[in-house]
């Protein structure tokens, strides 16, 4: 396994020009710039107007936050496929509590606690019993989807329009949505943690080679448990924000979000099958590139189904590029 | 569980019969019988021919798709996430040919070939790009479904055609679409550990470096596994088009989870190299009985996901625990 | 690694504001009237795409601009689309939102931008309601089915099956529940335990296993009447009965008329209620958009019971439906008809 992009990269000799042209974050940054360029040529200058960036930004809030947290699980080598259903479950529970007259703070606290509880079940199965992460979290995905649907009830949706929450979710600062800026800030913090702190190095080490990490005295159990709990927490927060933004929870909330987010994260340099690679910054840029393409097709009045064709092709290109750069090759 | 009887043949020794390694089938069978008994006690009319028909109809499509998924997993390809696209594409081909008045056998051949072509495309990207199958098939499923939406909105097997009739007839009291599923699982499950190609696939899935050292071509094995898996999805598509009535490009999506759950529950390791296809009969049967039993208990169909999800979670946890104990 | 990422981020961070500055000059607003349409985007239904095609054709006939987005059957996308319409400066929005849970947010955004909005079939305060009274359509279908149940079985069916579709939310309650009400209007004495439901998801293929399970749990029922959210859901129950060998005495009456035209009509689907969903734009243009374009916006009537423009339900038996052309043909004829002619007037055999 050639692991050049793994934890060792932090100590590799510093070659700025080469890194700039070949690093995984650099290539997704370049891809994003190309997307922006095409957008400007095709849609016109309004592609980058504050209003258009705000539209993309408020749509990106939940994927960015969910992706930033779930990225830790990917980095630790334990992919969590249950995030989409977790978002759905969280929004359903939060909306239900609001309709029962709870105040948003205690409803939010209970919702997050419940999400952490299911994250803990994931951790017990995967870390405690050694279950395969894909299979185990697929089970959790199914179970949580069922629970969300039961909570939402026969009407198929729960209306919990809360004027205060709606205002907070749509608060603008400097012409951009406040939540979008917070999500970006969160991404930067996550990026700092991953590349600058001991915790980050431990997570990468566990994901890159868990046996070597254990020999080096890192607690694999603790790192992976924490990563899975973080992933559940991020999805929980995402679900609550959805209720604020949409004023409701529905059966469709969060449905299929896991693959949308992971496709974008992989375009941004993460891998769902191999820990130790990827960076929150790259993941966020990947999400932005996909959102940009989708927005461009909307403004150009092109069928939205082309978005998924482009996402699929980009995903293939991204993993191919990663492989050519010395990433994992599959035989 | 790593040593179930059908797999013993892979170790080049004759199949040994011992209680060791029967954990998965016994657990599965016990769970299944318990479910049937509990529902039967609560509602004696559960034990009827109607129930049998309902369950066996549900089993047929999932079972055939699970053969494809199992072949991919056993040969070390982890998962084929593009099965929904392949299923709908092949079903569309089957319906269009039925509309053109072609006889059923030709339709079957065409649908299987369509599925094989799809699998072959997957294999080509995987082998020549040296890319991981899970990511490749995730991408091809994105592309495939989106492209299908651009091509058609609704399709159905014409009333009175042979294809339409196939989905509504019974042989020996069981659905006509159920028998091919059982025969295929028994046949492929028998041949896999006993033929040269099958043993190669298992060897590659178990340890590709050792397999390569023995002179087995990884590329050829990958191509064979994914193409064959696609062929089974193509065949499942005939059963789907025959029995489902009008379908749209998204109609196959919710089969995906059931199929993967059936493969995992059957003890077929996603890491490759171990598992018996025969076990699919038990896992598919068990999983298909759950929703029917829930209806008899008067529970909503949403509860079905909760049960299936936690059963899957517990099963993989037990599997992981056993594997960990066996390999210190 | 951090340096590398920082540099990359800096590249993006410098590039984007630079271009934003360049973009400062917003595109000049032109005076052409512009219609925005958000189609439902649910894979279930081919009429969702047709709704967009008809609206586009009507806008083009008038020489207007037209922007079509898809709600992708996703509540978050519907909200994003509302924001895009506001940004693109459309003069009026039409939407079908199959995920009405986000309708309050959509109404809020379009209202803040002072864009009049028309919503099809699912009422939302603040938006012009154009569409069917779903409850009335449900009741009409239920009463028509009730007449057959009365004639054939003297109002004594073994089972009345509801093909629910919880995803459609309140529309499901109106249509499926309305059909039950209509049936009860004709046959008031069907006992409680004869009424059963399954979740069809409004899709014949997806709802099939659940329908088989339900039938298996009532093994003795022979005379079965089926009501439901749409033709697809009802068809799921009929096909399940065919597979279990019990379709002989099953009769289903659908809603929306999706599977009651053409060569492939299931003989057990004895009737349905046409809404001619593809042609709703004719009502929206005639009664709301044309007046707005002329500078006389009508009052915002948003309740389904007192709509801005009412679409009449057209209950038909399978024999009557045989003379109705299929959807593609209907779209063609509708667009060729004199301005303002509705599909109901053109095609409803019972009108």
- Residue B327's pLDDT is what? 61
C68 chain-A contacts, CB cut-off 8 A: 301
Pairing of strands C269-274, C314-317: antiparallel
- Tokens 């991953």 -> residue: A194
d(CA A330, CA B126) in angstroms, rounded, equals 8
Query: Cβ atoms within 10 A of the Cβ of C26, count?
Result: 12
DSSP-derived secondary structure letter, C196 = E
Structure tokens at A260: 């949308």
Helix %, strand %, coil % of chain C (to 5): 50, 20, 35
d(CA B142, CA C112) in angstroms, rounded, equals 36
The number of helices, as runs of H, and strands, as runs of E, in chain B is: 14, 2
Helix %, strand %, coil % of chain A (to 5): 75, 5, 25
Q: How far is CA B243 from CA B112, B246, B258, C228, C236, in A?
A: 17, 9, 18, 20, 10
- Residue A29's pLDDT is what? 86
Chains interfacing with B (3 or more CB pairs < 8 Å): A, C
- SS3 of residue B202 by DSSP: helix
- Residue B21's pLDDT is what? 59
Contact between A36 and C23 using a beta-carbon 8 Å cutoff:
no
- Residue A273's pLDDT is what? 82
- SS3 of residue B172 by DSSP: coil
B168 chain-C contacts, CB cut-off 8 A: 239, 242-243
- Residue C22's pLDDT is what? 44
Structure tokens at B98: 């039925």
Contact between B132 and A142 using a beta-carbon 8 Å cutoff:
no
Instruction: Determine what percent of chain C is predicted with pLDDT higher than 70.
Output: 91
Nearest residue in chain B measured CA to CA from A150: B302
Contact between B153 and C49 using a beta-carbon 8 Å cutoff:
yes
d(CA B73, CA B133) in angstroms, rounded, equals 10
Beta bridge partners of C314: C274
The number of helices, as runs of H, and strands, as runs of E, in chain A is: 14, 4
Asked if residues A119 and A228 have their Cβ atoms less than 8 Å apart, the reply is: yes
Contact between B45 and C219 using a beta-carbon 8 Å cutoff:
yes
Half-sphere exposure for A50 (CA within 13 Å, toward CB)? 9
Q: Which residues of chain A carry a pLDDT beneath 70?
A: 1-22
Work out the pLDDT band at C5, boundaries 50, 70, 90: low
d(CA A36, CA B95) in angstroms, rounded, equals 42
Q: What is the phi/psi pair of residue B307, to 5°?
A: -60, -50
What is the three-state SS of A214-225? HHCCCCHHHHHH
Least Cα distance to A248 among A159, A172, A132 occurs for: A159
**A 237-266 residues with CB < 8 A to C:** 242, 245-253, 255
Pairing of strands A157-159, A248-250: antiparallel
Q: Which residue of C235, C243, C266 is in closest CB contact with B175? A: C243
d(CA C203, CA C233) in angstroms, rounded, equals 5
Asked if residues A108 and A102 have their Cβ atoms less than 8 Å apart, the reply is: no
First-to-last C-alpha distance (Å) of chain C: 73
> pLDDT tens across C213-228, in order?
999 999 999 999 999 9
d(CA A306, CA B42) in angstroms, rounded, equals 51
Cα dihedral A43/A48/A51/A53 (nearest 10): 110
Beta bridge partners of B285: none
- SS3 of residue A265 by DSSP: helix
Asked if residues B107 and B238 have their Cβ atoms less than 8 Å apart, the reply is: yes
- Residue A328's pLDDT is what? 72
* pLDDT higher than 90, residue C27: no
First-to-last C-alpha distance (Å) of chain B: 15
Query: Cβ atoms within 10 A of the Cβ of B20, count?
Result: 10
Chains interfacing with A (3 or more CB pairs < 8 Å): B, C
Residue A48 touches chain C, beta carbons under 8 Å: yes
- The conformational region for residue B275 under phi > 0 = left, psi -120 to 50 = alpha, else beta, is left
- Residue B6's pLDDT is what? 39
Rg (CA), chain C: 23
CB contacts < 8 A (B, C): 107
Structure tokens at A139: 């089970």
CB contacts < 8 A (A, B): 165
Please say whether the dihedral angle defined by the alpha carbons of residues A55, A56, A57 and A59, taken in this order, is positive or negative.
Answer: positive
> What's CA B3's distance to the chain center, in Å?
21
> pLDDT tens across C50-105, in order?
999 999 999 999 999 999 999 988 889 999 999 999 999 999 999 999 888 889 88
What beta strand segments (E) does chain B contain? 170-171, 174-175
> pLDDT tens across B150-202, in order?
898 889 999 989 999 999 998 999 999 999 999 999 999 999 999 988 999 99
- SS3 of residue C94 by DSSP: strand
> pLDDT tens across B205-223, in order?
888 888 888 888 889 999 9
CB-based contacts of C222, cutoff 8 Å, min separation 6: C158, C246, C248, C249
- Residue C221's pLDDT is what? 93
A323 chain-B contacts, CB cut-off 8 A: 129-131
- The conformational region for residue A156 under phi > 0 = left, psi -120 to 50 = alpha, else beta, is left
Residues B277-301, buried b or exposed e (16+ Cβ, 10 A)? bbbbbbbbbbbbbbbbbbbbeeebb
Q: Which residues of chain B carry a pLDDT beneath 70?
A: 1-22, 327-328
> pLDDT tens across C165-183, in order?
887 778 888 999 999 999 9
Nearest residue in chain A measured CA to CA from B151: A305
Pairing of strands C34-39, C65-70: parallel
- Residue B254's pLDDT is what? 85
d(CA A152, CA A95) in angstroms, rounded, equals 9
* pLDDT higher than 50, residue C18: no
Asked if residues C179 and C227 have their Cβ atoms less than 8 Å apart, the reply is: yes
d(CA C271, CA C260) in angstroms, rounded, equals 7
d(CA C32, nearest CA chain A) in Å = 17
Least Cα distance to C266 among B87, B169, B168, B55 occurs for: B168
């Amino acid at each position: 396994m050639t692991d050049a992009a793994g934890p060792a990269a932090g100590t590799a000799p510093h070659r700025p020009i080469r890194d700039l042209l070949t690093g995984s974050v650099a290539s997704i940054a370049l891809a994003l710039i190309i997307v922006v360029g095409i957008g400007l040529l095709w849609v016109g200058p309004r592609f980058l107007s504050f209003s258009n960036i705000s539209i993309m930004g408020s749509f990106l809030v939940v994927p960015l936050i969910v992706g930033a947290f779930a990225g830790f699980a990917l980095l630790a080598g334990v992919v969590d496929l249950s995030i989409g259903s977790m978002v759905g479950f969280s929004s359903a529970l939060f909306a239900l509590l609001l309709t029962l007259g709870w105040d948003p703070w205690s409803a939010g606290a209970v919702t997050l606690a419940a999400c952490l509880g299911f994250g803990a079940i994931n951790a017990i199965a995967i870390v405690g019993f050694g279950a395969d992460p894909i299979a185990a979290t697929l089970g959790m995905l199914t179970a949580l989807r069922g629970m969300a649907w039961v909570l939402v009830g026969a009407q198929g949706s729960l209306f919990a329009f809360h004027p205060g929450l709606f205002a907070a979710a749509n608060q603008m600062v400097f012409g951009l949505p406040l939540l979008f800026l917070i999500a970006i800030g969160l991404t930067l913090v996550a990026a700092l943690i991953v590349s600058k702190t001991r915790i980050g190095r431990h997570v990468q080490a566990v994901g890159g080679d868990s046996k070597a990490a254990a020999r080096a005295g890192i607690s694999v159990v603790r790192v992976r448990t924490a990563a899975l709990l973080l992933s559940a927490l991020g999805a929980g927060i995402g679900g609550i924000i959805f209720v604020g933004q949409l004023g409701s929870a529905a059966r469709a909330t969060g449905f299929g979000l896991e693959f949308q987010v992971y496709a974008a994260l992989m375009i941004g340099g993460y891998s769902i099958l191999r820990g130790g690679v990827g960076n929150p910054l790259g993941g966020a840029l990947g999400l932005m590139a996909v959102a940009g393409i989708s927005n461009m097709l909307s403004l150009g009045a092109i069928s939205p189904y082309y978005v998924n064709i482009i996402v699929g092709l980009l995903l293939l290109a991204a993993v191919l590029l990663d492989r050519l750069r010395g990433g994992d090759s599959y035989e | 569980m790593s040593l179930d009887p059908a797999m013993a043949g892979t170790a080049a020794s004759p199949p040994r019969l011992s209680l060791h390694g029967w954990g998965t089938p016994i657990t599965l069978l016990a769970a299944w019988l318990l479910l049937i008994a509990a529902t039967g006690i609560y509602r004696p009319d559960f034990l009827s021919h109607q129930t049998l028909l309902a369950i066996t109809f549900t089993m047929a499509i999932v079972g055939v798709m699970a053969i494809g998924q199992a072949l991919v997993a056993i040969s070390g390809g982890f998962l084929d996430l593009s099965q929904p696209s392949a299923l709908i594409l092949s079903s569309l081909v089957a319906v269009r040919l039925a509309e053109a008045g072609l006889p059923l056998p030709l339709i079957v051949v065409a649908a299987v070939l369509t599925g094989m072509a799809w699998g072959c495309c997957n294999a080509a990207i995987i082998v020549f790009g040296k890319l991981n199958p899970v990511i490749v098939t995730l991408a091809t499923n994105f592309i495939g479904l989106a492209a299908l939406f651009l091509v058609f909105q609704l399709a159905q097997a014409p009333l009175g055609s042979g294809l339409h009739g196939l989905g509504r007839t019974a042989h020996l009291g069981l659905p006509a679409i159920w028998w091919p599923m059982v025969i295929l699982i028994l046949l492929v499950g028998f041949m896999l550990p006993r033929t040269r190609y099958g043993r190669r696939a298992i060897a590659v899935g178990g340890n590709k470096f050792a397999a390569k050292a023995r002179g087995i071509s990884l590329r050829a094995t990958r191509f064979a596994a994914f193409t064959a898996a696609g062929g089974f999805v193509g065949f499942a598509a005939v059963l789907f088009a025959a029995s489902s009535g009008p379908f749209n490009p998204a109609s196959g999506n919710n089969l995906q989870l059931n199929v993967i759950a059936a493969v995992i529950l059957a003890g077929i390791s996603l890491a490759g190299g171990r598992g018996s296809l025969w076990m699919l009969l038990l896992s598919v049967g068990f999983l298909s009985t759950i929703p029917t039993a829930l209806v008899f208990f008067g529970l909503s169909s949403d509860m079905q996901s909760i049960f299936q999800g936690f059963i899957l979670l517990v099963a993989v946890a037990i599997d992981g625990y056993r594997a960990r104990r066996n390999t210190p | 690694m951090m340096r590398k990422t920082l540099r990359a981020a800096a590249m993006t961070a410098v590039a984007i504001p630079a271009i934003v500055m360049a973009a400062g000059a917003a595109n000049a607003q032109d005076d052409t009237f512009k219609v925005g349409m958000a189609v439902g985007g649910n894979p279930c239904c081919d009429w969702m795409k047709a709704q967009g095609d008809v609206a586009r054709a009507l806008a083009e006939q008038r020489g207007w601009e037209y922007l079509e987005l898809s709600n992708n059957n996703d509540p978050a996308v519907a909200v994003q689309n509302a924001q895009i319409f506001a940004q693109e400066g459309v003069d009026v929005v039409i939407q079908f939102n199959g995920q009405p849970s986000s309708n309050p947010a959509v109404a809020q955004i379009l209202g803040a931008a002072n864009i009049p909005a028309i919503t099809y079939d699912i009422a939302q305060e603040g938006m012009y309601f154009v569409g069917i009274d779903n409850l009335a359509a449900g009741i009409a279908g239920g009463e028509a089915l009730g007449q057959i149940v009365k004639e054939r079985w003297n109002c004594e069916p073994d089972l009345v099956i509801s093909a629910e579709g919880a995803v459609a939310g309140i529309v499901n309650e109106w249509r499926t529940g309305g059909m039950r009400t209509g049936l009860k209007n004709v046959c008031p004495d069907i006992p409680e335990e004869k009424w059963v439901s399954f979740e069809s998801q409004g899709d014949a293929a997806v709802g099939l296993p659940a329908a088989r399970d339900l039938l298996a749990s009532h093994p003795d029922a022979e005379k079965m009447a089926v009501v439901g959210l749409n033709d697809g859901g009802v068809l799921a129950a009929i096909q399940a009965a065919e597979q279990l060998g019990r379709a002989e005495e099953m009769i289903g009456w659908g809603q929306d008329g999706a599977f009651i035209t053409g060569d492939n009509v299931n003989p057990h689907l004895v009737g349905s209620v046409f809404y001619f969903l593809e042609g709703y734009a004719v009502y929206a243009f005639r009664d709301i958009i044309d007046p707005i374009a002329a500078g006389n916006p009508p009052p915002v009537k948003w309740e389904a019971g007192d709509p801005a423009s009412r679409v009449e339900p057209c209950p038909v038996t399978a024999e009557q439906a045989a003379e109705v052309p299929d959807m593609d043909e209907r779209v063609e004829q509708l667009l060729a008809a004199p301005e303002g002619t509705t599909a109901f007037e053109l095609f409803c055999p019972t009108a």
